[in-house]
Structure 1
Amino acid sequence: MDIKIRQATAEDLTAITTLFKDTVTTINSKDYNEKQITAWASVANDTAIWMERIENLYFIVAELDSKIVGFAYLKKGYYLDGLFVHKDHQREGIASALLRTIESQVMIEDFPEIRTDISITALPFFENKYYEIIKKQKKNLNGVVFVNYIATKTL
């Protein structure tokens, strides 16, 4: 499989928000209830925030045959704020390729570690990549409470 990683552009906005919504509603629904999924998926509707992320953050996409199949982005140079893979392309090495690129960028920026919040769904993936769980937390999104984890990895 030839996964191409590149910087996201404004033209990718629709593909990114559609992928996000589809992945959350399909993949994350096994670990979160309907109310949580609805609140989480609704984040895709705020295209202004997504455009700001694409334009101002280190935001990358993964492509297969010129189709976006995943994305990831960094805040503050060391905080992995999002990593999502298309619902039809899980377990194909896409998340690993994105994470390697993100971790490399964090090292280029000369940060000693990477930090992230991890969903229940993504927990096994990140544990397998040697991320250390700092704590379990409850986050509020649009009045709905979610459980996730704060994790870090020394680079």
Structure 2
Amino acid sequence: MKIRKFKQGEEKELYEIFYNTIRTVNIQDYSEDQVAAWAPSYIDMEFVMQKIRDIDPFVAVEDGRIIGYADIQPDGYIDHFYCHHQFQGQGVGRRLFVALEEEAVEKGIPSMYSNVSITAKPFFKAMGFSVEREQLVKVGDQQLKNYRMVRRL
């Protein structure tokens, strides 16, 4: 598995990972209506493509196929962190996390933080994050529970 920076032209592939992970993995902790609001069947692809370009993520690649992606912003915020639903529990997230941590240290970012789903909470805890607070966030017409988690570097 190789970890590298995202390349323009990979936006749709990353969105498919986002969509399918939420629809097949996060469904274990969220209702059908909640995942439909979080990962809608119809979305403005131009908006999605620009969002992915803006977050400038790392991608995990196995045999020429992207199997996960994650980003870290200049203030330490992890906006997206998704692993392909067929590659869960195979070290993809750990490898992506190492890349985020290395970038944070290199840029002098004092801590990393994210709004973490119920599903991802155990992974983030295993990576040394602690829960700062539980949150209810509005996504479309739904309320979703997540956690603000922080890890000091």
TM-score normalised by the chain length of structure 1: 0.92
Corresponding position: 1:122 with 2:120: yes
Match for residue 39 of structure 1 among 14, 28, 37: 37
> Which one-letter code corresponds to 2:122 in the other structure?
P
> Which protein is richer in strand relative to its size?
1
| Secondary structure in structure 1 of the residue aligned to 2:68 | strand
More deviation in 65-74 or 40-49?
40-49
Task: Identify unmatched segments of 5+ residues in structure 2.
Answer: none
**Structure 2 residue 32 is matched with structure 1 residue 18:** no
SS in 1 for 2:89: coil
Report the alpha carbon displacement of residue 43 of structure 1 after superposing the two structures with TM. Answer: 8.3
- Count of aligned positions: 153
RMSD in angstroms over aligned alpha carbons?
1.5
SS of structure 2 residue aligned to 1:125: helix
Q: Which stretch of structure 1 is more off in the superposition, 81-90 or 39-48?
A: 39-48
Residue 76 of structure 1: SS of its match in structure 2? coil
User: 2: distance between equivalents of 1:107 and 1:44?
Assistant: 38
Percent identity over the alignment? 27
5+ residue gaps in structure 1? Answer: none
Q: Distance in 2 between matches of 1:49 and 1:97?
A: 28
Q: What amino acid does structure 1 have at the position aligned with 2:81?
A: L
Q: Which runs of 4+ in 1 moved over 4 A?
A: none
Change (3 A) 1:100 1:49: farther
Q: Is the 8 A contact 2:55 2:79 kept in 1?
A: no
